[in-house]
Amino acid sequence: MSYKDYFDQERRNFLRVVQRSGIAMGAIQASSLLAGVMMARVAEAQTGSPNKSVTVFMPGGCTPAKYFPTGTTLPTQSTPLQSHFSAGRVALLKNATMMNGGHGVMFNRFNDPNPWGKQSFDVNLGKVLSANSNAPVKWLNLGTTAVSELSRDNAGIPTITSPQAALDILFAGGGGGGGGTVAPRKSMVDFHYAAVNDLKTKLGQHEKQKLDSHFNAISEIEASIAAANPGGTCSAPPNTTAVGFDATSKLMTDIAVLALECSLSSSVSLAFGTDEHTHVLDGAMITDTTGAYRPRPSHDSHHNQGNPNYAGYYDQDVRYYMSLTAQLLDKLQAKNLLASTIVTQVSDMGNVDAHSGQNCPMLVAGGGVRGGVIDVGGLSQVALFQTVGLALKANQGANGALFRNWGASTISGLF
């Protein structure tokens, strides 16, 4: 279906909803912004196809034999995903390639190997999906560690590592920390009543009554939509101070889910560490060859697997990263968001012993995904993003051509 045909169909669907609601087209035509918000509300009520994205970066690759199962039970490195894998909500991509795999090329993780002058996957999806959903924040790139090249809009975009800064962006000063409850999107009636009310000075009594009845109809639609989410408001986390890698990761995950739940953004990325692996996980200590007891950067566990002092540390690290992904899926599932959200995870390399891009632990979860293990035969993140982008109809929006030419290979059997 072409871009024009697809959005003509969406337009007809929207007009049918308006007609059934009893709202006169004159009220919609009086404010293009009202029409936009109405379209967003209709989109929120549709759960038949995915319309939100979370892109996850997990550093450090994996040991393939300890990550990919031979049956239905996940091995030691991927075991935190077991419940979602068993339920068919997760697809593990076997024999996937991270082009330019290895340390120090962060800008390739959410893009292809030639990202210069291009939007990264999360940014482009955000621009396309926000145009359809009216989400005020086009993309939200969250992380635990400062990274300037993972997300790009022609040039690198610094990763947001401050939870409070992320909330300030989402709520634009209308709430934030301290446990306050905020309404990220005002009622359509409240938002537009002041402007449309000026029209009443130009209307007769009969027209005024019709306008009021239309606003009542809009209020009824809002009430029915809000019934699925009682209260119609979104509560910010009670505390935006996070100390340590684990606390920061979990709080950023909460904020990511909050952004999707409240329709504040349709595209969120989460970076758990960086591909330099200089971050230190909580409690990661080591007695090094000099006898010094010191913090153990994540990078150390990769290069010292043969050292008895480091025995088991790499397995622990990968398993911990996967527990963060599992936690994200848990929270999306608890909010009934997983069916409408596609979670895409990549790493910076494959088999850590080789530090190459082969056997990179990529996965896809959520809306429309066919779970299990899929052998992709060496296809790279280019094919992965191509497939996910098509599932989210990213090729249909006006920004689609800025993402890619849509001529790349896709991964069959993923959706």
DSSP for 85-117?
Answer: HHTT-EEEEET-B-TT-STT-GGGTTS-S--TT
- Residue 42, pLDDT > 70, answer no
Average pLDDT over residues 120-144: 88
Average pLDDT over residues 337-364: 92
Q: 3-state SS of 342-358?
A: EEEEECCCCECCCCCCC
Structural domains in the chain, CATH included, are 1-46+186-232 (no CATH), 51-184+233-403 (3.40.720)
The two three-digit tokens of residue 395, written as one number: 């090729």
CA–CA gap between residue 131 and residue 266 (Å, rounded): 10
pLDDT-derived band at 130 (thresholds 50, 70, 90) equals: confident
pLDDT digits (tens, 9 = 90+) for 165-182: 998 888 763 332 323 334
CA–CA gap between residue 352 and residue 343 (Å, rounded): 23
pLDDT of residue 309: 67
Handedness of CA 13, 18, 22, 24 (dihedral sign): negative
Q: 3-state class of 57 per DSSP?
A: strand
pLDDT of residue 258: 94
CA–CA gap between residue 91 and residue 362 (Å, rounded): 9
Average pLDDT over residues 355-366: 93
CA–CA gap between residue 185 and residue 409 (Å, rounded): 39
pLDDT of residue 221: 47
Tell which residue, 210, 205, 189, 225, has the closest CA to residue 24. 210
pLDDT of residue 182: 42
Average pLDDT over residues 145-156: 87
pLDDT of residue 89: 96
pLDDT of residue 394: 86
Q: Which class for 131: exposed (0-12), middle (13-18), buried (19 or more C-beta within 10 A)?
A: middle
Lowest mean pLDDT among 114-123, 151-160, 283-292, 316-325: 283-292
pLDDT digits (tens, 9 = 90+) for 178-203: 233 344 444 444 544 555 555 566 66
Type of residue found at 367: G
Give the list of residues 6+ apart from residue 82 with CB closer than 8 angstroms, or none.
Answer: 73, 74
pLDDT of residue 354: 76
Distances (CA, A) of 287 to 238, 278, 290, 295, 302: 38, 17, 8, 9, 16
pLDDT of residue 6: 45
pLDDT digits (tens, 9 = 90+) for 208-235: 666 666 556 555 544 544 444 444 457 6
Instruction: Between 11 and 239, name the one with better pLDDT.
Output: 239
pLDDT of residue 201: 62
Lowest mean pLDDT among 115-129, 186-200, 350-364, 376-390: 186-200
CA–CA gap between residue 27 and residue 18 (Å, rounded): 11
Lowest mean pLDDT among 86-95, 165-174, 231-240, 373-382: 231-240
pLDDT-derived band at 395 (thresholds 50, 70, 90) equals: confident
